[in-house]
């Protein structure tokens, strides 16, 4: 281990250090085939990701289905085991933690899921759903537990009197509020929001986005906000990372990413997103990508995006472009970036 | 102006459930002219899909309880099932949201794409397959002869939607109804499919009804737009005017509530408060009034009718009909 790095690991974590720091992270899933169901290949869902998440920020993570964004989020909070690489949380290596040590960290992390219909147990009351993390981590019991649950419901904008109701009595937006209350129960520092609004009606989405922003400033939360909708991600995030086939292609502050994307994939993603203004839409020049996303079982050699990239050169197949700096806080992995 | 190709007059479709009657479509009137693209926007439960299904007479278990659907001078609601089948395949085609479930998994894709011409035009297998292959080619499926022999599961989501569009076009219909055609697809694939629909509209002159919840998609695709809420049209007009000066508070608030890619500064979104209405127990008067920040006393009492507001738009709103302009903080 190089000396500088060793020193850094020994120093105590401070709030100016990244809250989450991921290096060379890989999460692969085995593909079994044949009569004996032998592992014959791997889905390279996350395939070498370096990422820092600062305390108090919202890092947006966008990409199309199958790009590995949810797997990355789940691996970071150790819901999935990484195949390779390291995950540091508050300066501590949690990559291989188990048992009590991992549970202690889990008290600091939470997750909000996409589907408010599938992520709540229909046989549990709202009080039991929100109270479960309190029981698991032995954070409160008896009257204090009940009081805490009522407070949590109140803070997410639900009537505290709803504690004894069941999920089916609520609308999609209200269920997502229950899911948020459950995530807040452990009083976490870090929350992974995995497509928290994509299952909701348009008129309800803004309510949930505003709630998440309010809670962030109130409880000093750090978010990893995963979504496929770049307009939403840009709105809520300080920085945005764009993922394609298991790799980060570009990462930059949202406004900068929108004004001056450097990776051709980001450029085409931005141009594909419709803007609700007919005059702008008619004047826009589109960069429509050809073809479909390549298979994550056998990602293309060199740059993974090259099979769909309008700027690809022979060199792109031979070597993988590293994430390089394009000014402050702006990184992109491309040999032939956009101007 | 020439007579409209398709005309809905006061269409009403209801579902009779144990909990009560759901007025899914509650008096919808619209005109679709040859070659144009009309957008219908609304949230889930607004009645936009049931309107389209009623045109195709596929609204079951719902029942069309009133109104007319006039196509080429005939009222489709009065046709027999046999006559309707002729209209469905040949004159009006429909593509659905989920290309995964709307193709039959046990038949080869080319066979399915050629089905409309086999059934409706009596073409033999070889000729139908020929048109299927050329249509797959036109919607941008590479190696169409080979892909026609593949089964739907061998296609990606975007390719399946292309195959659905190809199937709809084999009989060169006059009207194409696309019900959330890109909702299940990724944005880069969505851009491909929307581009294809624009091309189809241009090259075949197919009049298109595009049903979506995505205001951005409407902005880029449609000359005219209708906004639905709780089974009724609350606003309609040229897309440019509706987006620039919405005349119904629902449209107005919806446009302000969505984050835009091109927003310059971070400002909190302005959500529409409250919940979408319960379709069995609709609010009295205007169904939107409990969530409306402009409501007047009359709004909870009388149901507003769709009336001209401004030069080009229609709105079902007592507030704007009385001359009030929609402005916010």
For A31-66, the pLDDT digits (tens) are 988 888 888 899 999 999 999 999 999 999 999 888
Specify whether B236 is located in the same domain as B215. no
Residue B61: asked if its preceding bond is cis (omega within 30°), the reply is yes
- What pLDDT is recorded for position A10? 58
Using DSSP, state whether A154 is helix, strand or coil.
helix
- Is position B1 within any domain? no
Q: Quick check: B329 pLDDT over 80?
A: no
A174 neighbourhood in chain B, CB within 8 Å: 275
- What pLDDT is recorded for position A287? 83
What's the pLDDT band for A2 if we cut at 50, 70, 90?
A: low
B44 neighbourhood in chain A, CB within 8 Å: 201
A292–chain B Cβ distance below 8 A for any pair: yes
- What pLDDT is recorded for position B89? 78
Q: Quick check: A4 pLDDT over 70?
A: no
pTM of the model: 0.89
A203·B156 Cβ contact <8 A: no
Are the CB atoms for B315 and B307 separated by under 8 Å?
yes
B189–chain A Cβ distance below 8 A for any pair: yes
Share of chain A above pLDDT 70, in %: 97
Q: State how far the Cα of B210 lies from the Cα of B203, in Å rounded to an integer.
A: 17
Phi, psi of A229 (to 5 degrees): -90, 105
**Beta bridge mates, B224:** B38, B238
In A, minimum Cα distance to B156 occurs at A292
Q: State how far the Cα of A179 lies from the Cα of A193, in Å rounded to an integer.
A: 10
A64·B276 Cβ contact <8 A: no
Look over chain B and give the mean of its residue pLDDT values, rounded to a whole number.
92
- What pLDDT is recorded for position B234? 98
Range of the domain at B246: 232-259+269-321
In A, minimum Cα distance to B252 occurs at A203
- Is position B63 within any domain? yes
Are the CB atoms for B258 and B235 separated by under 8 Å?
no
The beta-carbon neighbor of A210 closest among B186, B214, B268 is B268
- What pLDDT is recorded for position A291? 79
Specify whether B18 is located in the same domain as B147. yes
Q: Minimal CA–CA distance to A19: which of A48, A57, A50, A72? A: A57
Question: A128-132, A326-330, B30-34, B308-312: which has the minimum mean pLDDT?
Answer: A326-330
The beta-carbon neighbor of A231 closest among B254, B259, B273 is B259
Q: Which whole number is the average pLDDT over B140-156?
A: 90
Continuous H helices in A165-262: 172-184, 202-219, 230-236, 254-259
Instruction: Name the minimum distance, in Å, from the CA of B172 to any CA of chain A.
Output: 26
Specify whether B185 is located in the same domain as B36. yes
B240·A173 Cβ contact <8 A: no
Specify whether B136 is located in the same domain as B192. yes
Specify whether B74 is located in the same domain as B176. yes
Strands A58-62 and A222-227, sheet pairing:
parallel
B188·A209 Cβ contact <8 A: no
In B, minimum Cα distance to A199 occurs at B44
What ipTM was reported for this prediction? 0.85
Q: State how far the Cα of A263 lies from the Cα of A310, in Å rounded to an integer.
A: 11
Mutate which: A277, A282, A283, A284, vs B, most B CBs within 10 A:
A277
Share of chain B above pLDDT 90, in %: 72
Using CA atoms, how far residue A42 sits from A83, A86, A302, B304, in Å, is 11, 20, 18, 60
- What pLDDT is recorded for position B304? 97
B239 neighbourhood in chain A, CB within 8 Å: 278
What's the pLDDT band for A5 if we cut at 50, 70, 90?
A: low
- Contacting B residues, span 156-185, partner chain A, CB-CB under 8 Å: 156, 158-159
Share of chain B above pLDDT 70, in %: 99
DSSP structure class, residue A319: S
Q: State how far the Cα of B299 lies from the Cα of B284, in Å rounded to an integer.
A: 8
- What pLDDT is recorded for position B91? 93
Specify whether B212 is located in the same domain as B242. no
A205–chain B Cβ distance below 8 A for any pair: yes
- Is position B105 within any domain? yes
Are the CB atoms for B175 and B5 separated by under 8 Å?
yes
- What pLDDT is recorded for position A8? 52
- Contacting B residues, span 23-62, partner chain A, CB-CB under 8 Å: 43-44
Strands B313-315 and B232-238, sheet pairing:
antiparallel
Specify whether B79 is located in the same domain as B178. yes
- What pLDDT is recorded for position B247? 97
Q: State how far the Cα of B164 lies from the Cα of B154, in Å rounded to an integer.
A: 14
- What pLDDT is recorded for position B225? 98
Instruction: Name the minimum distance, in Å, from the CA of A145 to any CA of chain B.
Output: 29
Instruction: Name the minimum distance, in Å, from the CA of B107 to any CA of chain A.
Output: 23
B213·A286 Cβ contact <8 A: no
Mutate which: B262, B267, B270, B276, vs A, most A CBs within 10 A:
B262
Specify whether B182 is located in the same domain as B252. no
Mutate which: B159, B198, B261, B273, vs A, most A CBs within 10 A:
B261
Q: State how far the Cα of B225 lies from the Cα of A70, in Å rounded to an integer.
A: 36
A245–chain B Cβ distance below 8 A for any pair: no
N- to C-terminal Cα separation, chain A: 38
- What pLDDT is recorded for position B96? 86
Q: State how far the Cα of A225 lies from the Cα of A62, in Å rounded to an integer.
A: 8
DSSP structure class, residue A273: S
- Is position B327 within any domain? no
What lies within 8 Å, CB to CB, of B272 at 6+ separation is A203, A206, A207, B250, B253, B254, B257, B291
A176–chain B Cβ distance below 8 A for any pair: no
Q: For the domain that residue B172 is a member of, what is the CATH number?
A: 3.40.50.300
Instruction: Name the minimum distance, in Å, from the CA of A236 to any CA of chain B.
Output: 8
- What pLDDT is recorded for position B106? 93
Q: Which whole number is the average pLDDT over A199-223?
A: 94
Specify whether B28 is located in the same domain as B61. yes
For B222-231, the pLDDT digits (tens) are 999 999 999 9
For A104-121, the pLDDT digits (tens) are 998 999 999 988 888 899
Q: State how far the Cα of B34 lies from the Cα of B206, in Å rounded to an integer.
A: 7
A284 neighbourhood in chain B, CB within 8 Å: 220
Sheet with B6-17, side-by-side order of all strands: B20-32, B6-17, B63-71, B74-75
Specify whether B152 is located in the same domain as B243. no
End-of-domain residue from the set B196, B222, B248: B222
Are the CB atoms for B234 and B309 separated by under 8 Å?
no
B269 neighbourhood in chain A, CB within 8 Å: 206, 209-210, 235
Q: State how far the Cα of A277 lies from the Cα of B146, in Å rounded to an integer.
A: 41
- What pLDDT is recorded for position B271? 92
- Is position B264 within any domain? no
B258 neighbourhood in chain A, CB within 8 Å: 202, 205-206, 231, 276
For B184-197, the pLDDT digits (tens) are 888 888 898 899 99
Look over chain A and give the mean of its residue pLDDT values, rounded to a whole number.
92
Specify whether B167 is located in the same domain as B238. no
Q: How many domains does chain B have?
A: 2
- Is position B30 within any domain? yes
Question: A130-134, A155-159, B240-244, B267-271: which has the minimum mean pLDDT?
Answer: B267-271
Q: Quick check: B1 pLDDT over 70?
A: no
Q: Which whole number is the average pLDDT over B303-319?
A: 96
Q: Minimal CA–CA distance to B103: which of B20, B31, B184, B201? A: B184
Q: Which whole number is the average pLDDT over B108-127?
A: 92
Q: State how far the Cα of B136 lies from the Cα of B129, in Å rounded to an integer.
A: 10
B261·A209 Cβ contact <8 A: no
- What pLDDT is recorded for position A289? 86
A280·B239 Cβ contact <8 A: no
- Is position B326 within any domain? no
Are the CB atoms for A26 and A84 separated by under 8 Å?
yes
DSSP structure class, residue A334: -
Per-residue H/E/C for chain B: CCCCCEEEEEEEEEEEECCEEEEEEEEEEEEECCCCEEEEECCCCCCHHHHHHHHCCCCCCCEEEEEEEEECCEEHHHCCHHHHHHHHHHHEEEECCCCCCCCCCCCCHHHHHCHHHHHHHCCCHHHHHHHHHHHHHHCCCCCHHHHHCCCHHHCCHHHHHHHHHHHHHCCCCCEEEEECCCCCCCHHHHHHHHHHHHHHHHHHCCEEEEEECCHHHHHHHCCEEEEEECCEEEEEEEHHHHHHCCCCHHHHHHHHHCCCCCCCCCCCCCCCCCCCCCCCCCCCCCCCHHHCCCCCHHHHCCCCCCEEECCCEEECCHHHHCCCCCCCC
Q: Minimal CA–CA distance to B245: which of A283, B237, B31, A204? A: B237
A230·B192 Cβ contact <8 A: no
Q: Quick check: B182 pLDDT over 70?
A: yes
A294–chain B Cβ distance below 8 A for any pair: no
The beta-carbon neighbor of B261 closest among A202, A228, A234 is A234
Q: Quick check: B61 pLDDT over 90?
A: yes
B258·A276 Cβ contact <8 A: yes
B254·A203 Cβ contact <8 A: yes
The beta-carbon neighbor of B243 closest among A171, A270, A277 is A277
Q: State how far the Cα of B315 lies from the Cα of B326, in Å rounded to an integer.
A: 12
Specify whether B275 is located in the same domain as B139. no
Q: Which whole number is the average pLDDT over B13-33?
A: 95
Q: Quick check: A13 pLDDT over 60?
A: yes
- What pLDDT is recorded for position A1? 46
- Is position B227 within any domain? no
Q: Minimal CA–CA distance to A293: which of A308, A310, A271, A276? A: A308
């Amino acid at each position: 281990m190089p000396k500088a790095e060793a020193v850094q690991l020994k120093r105590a974590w401070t709030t100016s250090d990244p809250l989450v720091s991921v290096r060379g992270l890989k999460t692969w899933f085995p593909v079994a085939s044949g009569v004996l169901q032998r592992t014959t290949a791997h889905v390279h869902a996350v395939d070498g990701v370096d990422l820092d998440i600062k305390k108090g920020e919202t890092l947006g993570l966008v990409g199309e289905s199958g790009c590995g964004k949810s797997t990355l989020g789940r691996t970071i909070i150790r819901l999935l085991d990484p195949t390779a690489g390291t995950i540091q949380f508050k300066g501590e290596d949690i990559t291989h933690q188990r048992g009590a040590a991992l549970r202690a960290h889990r008290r600091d992390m939470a997750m909000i899921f996409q589907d408010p219909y599938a992520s709540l147990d229909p046989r549990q009351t709202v009080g039991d759903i929100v109270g479960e993390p309190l029981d698991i981590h032995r954070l409160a019991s008896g009257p204090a537990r009940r009081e805490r649950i009522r407070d949590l419901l109140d803070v997410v904008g639900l009537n505290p009197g709803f504690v004894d109701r069941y999920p089916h009595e609520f609308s999609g937006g209200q269920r997502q509020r229950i899911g948020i209350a459950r995530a807040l129960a452990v009083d976490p520092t870090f929350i992974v929001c995995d497509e928290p609004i994509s299952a909701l009606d348009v008129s309800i989405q803004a309510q949930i986005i505003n709630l998440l922003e309010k809670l962030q400033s109130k409880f000093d939360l750090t978010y990893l906000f995963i979504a496929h909708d770049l307009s939403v991600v840009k709105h809520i995030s300080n920085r945005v990372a764009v993922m394609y086939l298991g790799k980060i292609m570009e990462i930059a502050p949202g406004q900068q990413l929108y004004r001056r994307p450097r990776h051709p994939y980001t450029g085409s993603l931005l141009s594909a997103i419709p803007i609700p203004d007919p005059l702008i839409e008619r004047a826009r020049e589109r960069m429509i990508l050809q073809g479909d996303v390549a298979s994550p079982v056998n990602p293309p050699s060199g740059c993974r995006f090259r099979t769909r990239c309008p700027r690809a050169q022979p060199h792109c197949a031979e070597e993988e472009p590293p994430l390089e700096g394009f000014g402050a806080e702006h990184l992109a992995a491309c040999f032939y970036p956009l101007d | 102006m020439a007579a409209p190709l398709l005309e809905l007059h006061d269409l009403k479709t209801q579902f009779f459930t144990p909990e009560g009657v759901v007025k899914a479509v509650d008096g919808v009137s619209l005109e679709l002219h040859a070659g144009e693209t009309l957008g219908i926007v609304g949230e889930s439960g607004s009645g936009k899909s049931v309107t389209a299904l009623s045109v195709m007479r596929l609204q079951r278990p719902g029942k069309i309880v009133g109104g007319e659907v006039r196509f080429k001078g005939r009222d489709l609601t009065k046709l027999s099932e046999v006559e309707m089948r002729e209209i469905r395949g040949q004159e009006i085609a429909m593509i659905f949201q989920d290309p995964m479930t709307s193709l039959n998994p046990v038949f080869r894709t080319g066979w399915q794409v050629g089905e409309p011409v086999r059934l409706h035009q009596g073409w033999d297998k070889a000729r139908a397959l020929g048109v299927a292959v050329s249509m797959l080619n036109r919607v941008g499926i590479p190696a169409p002869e080979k892909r026609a022999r593949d089964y739907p599961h061998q296609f990606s989501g975007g390719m399946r939607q292309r195959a659905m569009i190809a199937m709809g076009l084999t009989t060169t219909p006059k009207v194409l109804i696309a019900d959330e055609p890109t909702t299940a697809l990724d944005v880069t694939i969505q851009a491909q499919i929307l581009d294809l629909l624009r091309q189809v509209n241009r090259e075949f002159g197919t009049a298109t009804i595009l049903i979506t919840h995505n205001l951005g998609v409407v902005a880029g695709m449609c000359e005219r737009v209708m906004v639905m809420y709780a089974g009724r049209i609350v606003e309609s007009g040229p897309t440019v005017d509706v987006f620039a000066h919405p005349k119904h508070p629902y449209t107005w608030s919806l446009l302000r509530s969505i984050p835009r890619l091109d927003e310059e500064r971070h400002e909190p979104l302005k959500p529409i408060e409250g919940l979408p209405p319960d379709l069995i127990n609709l609010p009295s008067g205007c169904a939107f009034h409990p969530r409306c920040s402009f409501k007047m006393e009359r709004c909870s009492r009388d149901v507003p009718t769709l009336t001209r507001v401004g030069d080009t738009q229609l709105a079902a709103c007592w507030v704007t009909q009385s001359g009030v302009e929609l402005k916010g903080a």
